């Protein structure tokens, strides 16, 4: 099946946050096996435009710029349709707001202004256009709401025109900074195919555009991102990978307890191959399966995205974290080659990044 996609080293702290190599002992099995995809908290303020009789929310555009290195989170709450869904979406947005405040991230919230008064399509486009496209600071985009798929194009439902996966891909094309895109709506899988690229984590609530029913994944994900119980490797912080695994497991458990057929299967892609990997490909935090194609296993980059950093992480600058993360990824990639390299060559290749990583931790006294 193809993917759905040294000795005597100074090792103080080297594996303390090496989450990509740890196995959470006693971790529960995740959701049933699924296939790959088929092809600063800142309060927003409003400028009332009396002449045209409607309100345009400018929170995303008028918010102060984020300090260098600060993570920015853009939450987009879509058109709810029914009061029941509106309450669910607002609760999810509130959980993200709380997590951003706890993690010191800059929050830009869209879709919660006066109902019927805003064209959120234009506002989202302008908001993304106002963000820096490069640098080391992470940008998170979280879609909360309903999605549709007509067999050709997947859309996220907004107040005003809906946004398609192709349109979102075009808006995000200039971005080279570390970016996480999380679409928790139904029929969201085509967004993964369109948005997948290097230095980017894409998470969708479904594995196909044809999974059209209302999804529960987003609720569990919003809870997991700040829940210590989702910290599988016990390093004091919850990574995107850990939140994905936790939310996927809880989603599967929800359907099982309700005696219902599961109608959503979340996917994660962070290696740019546009395929995506389901939660049951992992045991703990380590991939238990490998793709037949010659592509890297997903999860490495997602394991380095954390919204609420641990105390030790907060001691590092953005540049230091980027340096450390690059060394970790180098070690991981070499470890993935272990079965294909002669023993001596494998350890020779592994020695250099391991020594550099050990020296890094020694110099930071972590």
C-alpha torsion angle, residues 244, 247, 251, 252 (rounded to 10): 60
**Residue 254 and residue 207 share a domain:** yes
**Residue 328 and residue 304 share a domain:** no
**Residue 335 and residue 232 share a domain:** no
**Residue 182 and residue 258 share a domain:** yes
**Residue 328 and residue 296 share a domain:** no
Nearest partner of 195 among 146, 268, 122, judged by Cα? 268
With DSSP H G I counted as helix, E B as strand and the rest as coil, what are the percentages for the chain, rounded to 5?
A: 35, 15, 50
- Whether 50 maps to a domain, the answer reads yes
- Whether 275 maps to a domain, the answer reads yes
- Whether 132 maps to a domain, the answer reads yes
**Residue 349 and residue 254 share a domain:** no
Final residue before a domain boundary, out of 310, 330, 358? 310
What pLDDT is stored for residue 40 in this prediction? 35
**Residue 366 and residue 240 share a domain:** no
The label of the residue with tokens 């980059």 reads 301
C-alpha dihedral sign at 310, 311, 314, 320? negative
Stretches in the chain below the pLDDT threshold 70: 1-66, 115-117, 291-294, 366
Final residue before a domain boundary, out of 272, 294, 310? 310
Phi-psi region of 26 (alpha: psi -120 to 50; beta: other; left: phi over 0): left
- Whether 106 maps to a domain, the answer reads yes
Q: How far apart are CA 290 and CA 275, in angstroms?
A: 13
**Relative orientation angle of helices 165-172 and 120-129, to the nearest 10 degrees:** 20
What pLDDT is stored for residue 294 in this prediction? 66
- Whether 182 maps to a domain, the answer reads yes
Pairing mode, strands 147-149 and 154-156: antiparallel
279-294 pLDDT, tens per residue?
Answer: 999 988 888 777 666 6
- Whether 233 maps to a domain, the answer reads yes
- Residue 112 in 3-state DSSP? coil
**Residue 218 and residue 330 share a domain:** no
Domain span at residue 341 reads 315-366
**Residue 184 and residue 75 share a domain:** yes
Q: How far apart are CA 17 and CA 235, in angstroms?
A: 6
Query: What CATH number is attached to the domain comprising 48?
Result: 3.40.50.1460
147-200 pLDDT, tens per residue?
Answer: 999 999 999 999 999 999 999 999 999 999 999 999 999 999 999 999 999 999
Structural domain count of the chain: 2
**Residue 289 and residue 248 share a domain:** yes
Q: How far apart are CA 312 and CA 13, in angstroms?
A: 10
What pLDDT is stored for residue 28 in this prediction? 34
**What are the helix (H) ranges across the chain?**
59-62, 83-103, 120-129, 165-172, 189-195, 217-224, 240-258, 311-314, 318-336, 343-364
What pLDDT is stored for residue 342 in this prediction? 92
**Residue 265 and residue 177 share a domain:** yes
- Whether 337 maps to a domain, the answer reads yes
Q: C-alpha angle 315/240/354, rounded to 5°? A: 55
- Please state, in angstroms and as integers, the Cα–Cα distance from residue 233 to each residue in 195, 244, 330, following that order: 29, 14, 20
What pLDDT is stored for residue 192 in this prediction? 98
Q: How far apart are CA 130 and CA 231, in angstroms?
A: 33
- Whether 343 maps to a domain, the answer reads yes
**Residue 352 and residue 254 share a domain:** no
What pLDDT is stored for residue 293 in this prediction? 65
What pLDDT is stored for residue 116 in this prediction? 59
């Amino acid at each position: 099946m193809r993917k759905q996609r040294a000795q005597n080293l100074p090792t103080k702290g080297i594996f303390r946050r090496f989450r990509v190599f740890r196995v959470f002992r006693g971790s529960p099995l995740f959701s049933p096996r699924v296939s790959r995809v088929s092809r600063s908290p800142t309060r927003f303020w409003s400028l009332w435009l009396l002449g045209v009789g409607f309100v345009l929310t400018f929170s995303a555009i008028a918010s102060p710029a984020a300090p260098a290195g600060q993570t920015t989170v853009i939450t987009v709450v879509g058109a709810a349709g029914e009061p029941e869904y509106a309450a669910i979406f607002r609760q999810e947005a509130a959980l993200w707001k709380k997590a951003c405040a706890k993690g010191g991230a800059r929050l830009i919230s869209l879709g919660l202004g006066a109902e019927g008064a805003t064209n959120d399509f234009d506002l989202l486009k302008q908001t993304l256009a106002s963000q820096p496209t490069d640098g080391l600071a992470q940008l998170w985009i979280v879609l909360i709401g309903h999605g549709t798929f007509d067999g050709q194009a997947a859309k996220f439902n907004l107040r005003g025109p809906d946004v398609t996966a192709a349109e979102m891909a075009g808006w995000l094309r200039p971005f080279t900074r570390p970016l996480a895109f999380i679409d928790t709506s139904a029929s969201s899988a085509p967004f993964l195919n369109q948005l997948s690229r290097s230095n980017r984590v894409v998470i969708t609530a479904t594995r196909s555009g044809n999974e059209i029913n209302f999804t529960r994944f987003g609720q569990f994900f919003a809870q997991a991102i700040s829940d210590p119980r989702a910290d599988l490797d016990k390093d004091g912080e919850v990574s995107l990978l850990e939140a994905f695994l936790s939310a996927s497991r809880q989603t599967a458990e929800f359907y099982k307890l309700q005696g219902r057929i599961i109608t959503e299967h979340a996917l994660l892609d962070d290696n740019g191959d546009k395929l995506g990997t389901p939660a049951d490909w992992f045991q703990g935090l380590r991939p238990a399966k490998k793709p037949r194609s010659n592509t890297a296993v997903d999860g490495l980059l997602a394991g380095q995205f954390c919204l609420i950093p641990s105390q030790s992480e907060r001691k590092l600058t953005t540049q230091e974290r980027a340096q450390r993360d690059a060394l970790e990824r180098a070690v991981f990639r070499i470890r993935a080659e272990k079965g294909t390299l002669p023993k001596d060559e494998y350890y020779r290749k592994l020695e250099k990044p391991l020594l550099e990583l050990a020296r890094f931790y020694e110099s930071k006294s972590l």
